[in-house]
Amino acid sequence: MEITKICCIGAGYVGGPTMAVIAQKCPHIQVTVVDLNAERIEAWNDKDLSKIPIYEPGLDVIVGEARNRNLFFSTDVDKAIDEAQIIFISVNTPTKTYGKGKGMAADLKYIELCARQIGRVAKNNKIVVEKSTLPVRTAEAIKSILDNTGNGVQFQILSNPEFLAEGTAVQDLLNPDRILIGGDTTPEGQEAIHSLVQVYSNWVASDKILTTNVWSSELSKLTANAFLAQRISSINAISELCEKTGADVNEVSKAIGMDSRIGSKFLKASVGFGGSCFQKDILNLVYISKSYGLHQVADYWEQVIIMNDHQKSRFSSNILQTLYNTVSDKKITFLGWAFKKDTNDTRESAAIYVADDLINEHANIAVYDPKVTSKKIIDDLNYLESRSAAANAESVICYNDPYDACKDAHAIAILTEWDEFKAYNWQKIYDQMKKPAFIFDGRNLLDAAELEAIGFVYQAVGS
């Protein structure tokens, strides 16, 4: 089947960038991204490309090239479903906050709503692609819904998980390590796989496109994120040991990373991992393991989350202890709120939980982040429901200028590894702070010797 029309349900961190790159690389294919959030769609269509809702380096250029040529953003979901040959499902699959599996299982209500809408609208055969990260055997549930609520048309369900790292999503899409496509082993399933392979083949080499059965594809995504998160928690566990023994975690990380069997990636000690994927996917893996009675397997993977939570609470505790066991009415400046650099995504950011701990100790938090809005920062704290929205607003002040944020602060905490922080005039910042002036480097970003020469009391994870 020659593919000429694609639609994606969900205009978020995965759907928007992925479809923009597909549209740029496949000008012969009409790509429509749909979402019920009218405000988000309006932002994607804004003439000012700096206002598109997802910040990723290079994304604005790609959207500007393809938008209104063969890339469209719309709230008319039914029309896009009706016209498309391939429908990507790229909606949120958060961890359940209620009922069976609360706190671990993925909440699939948005996936089910999409499947029911596709089944209701579709009047000819469709290929439905799982782009969201989903539990193993979700495709089976989607297939059941479509077959039992549809109009008698044939659906082929494919799993095509994303392997994007926020901050480098555009490069990950343009030059992927691999494209994974899972589908049925039936002739119809193989034909559907081939159709999607042909789309990616417009810019991805054939040896980087891996096809599997649908269950292997679904599990591969969860496993990949679990392995990466495990490495971060492993080096963070070693960072605490380094602090006790006098070893330098950066030197340890470099030494073991030079072992070709291990490699250097995801071995940077920090205040902890965040983002929409790692914690959610590991908890999903834990829940699946428990549902099959594999309790030792579940305990193993759950420890990765426990270690990550411990690292965040340990960081805030260290701030408290170093500042003479009280931060009451002290100004603590957070440089960075996004969970990593080059993104405006704050989901599960370590900054949220460190701020929450310090506010509980009556600290006054000042925040500067180059891409995260003040509204988002307050909303993140309100979501925890640790205190009233009014109390959060009173305890946190957001700044547009980092030097203003640091003025009269007792301490600075580096919570995101934004490159610009390394280029600041730290002498100027030191001169405007309360003395002694502390820096707690949660990302091992800054040069300790230079800061200590200025007069800062400097502490980094693992030092």
Provide Rg for the chain, Cα atoms.
23
The length of the chain in residues reads 463
Catalytic status, residue 277? yes
Catalytic status, residue 221? yes
Q: What angle do CA 132, 220, 202 make, to 5 degrees?
A: 65
Return the closest-CA partner of residue 227 out of 256, 181, 263. Answer: 263
Please enumerate in sequence order all residues whose Cβ is within 8 A of that of 295, keeping only pairs 6 or more positions apart, or say none.
289
Distance, CA of 307 to CA of 238 (rounded, Å): 11
DSSP, collapsed to helix, strand or coil, labels residue 374 as helix
Cis peptide before 370 (omega within 30 of 0): no
Distance, CA of 353 to CA of 365 (rounded, Å): 12
Catalytic status, residue 450? no
Ranges assigned E (strand) in 177-296: 179-183, 209-213
Q: Which residue is listed with tokens 């979501």?
A: 383
Distance, first Cα to last Cα, the chain: 58
What DSSP state is assigned to residue 135?
-
Q: Could you say which of 56, 130, 162, 348 is catalytic?
A: 162
Q: Which residues are catalytic?
A: 162, 221, 277
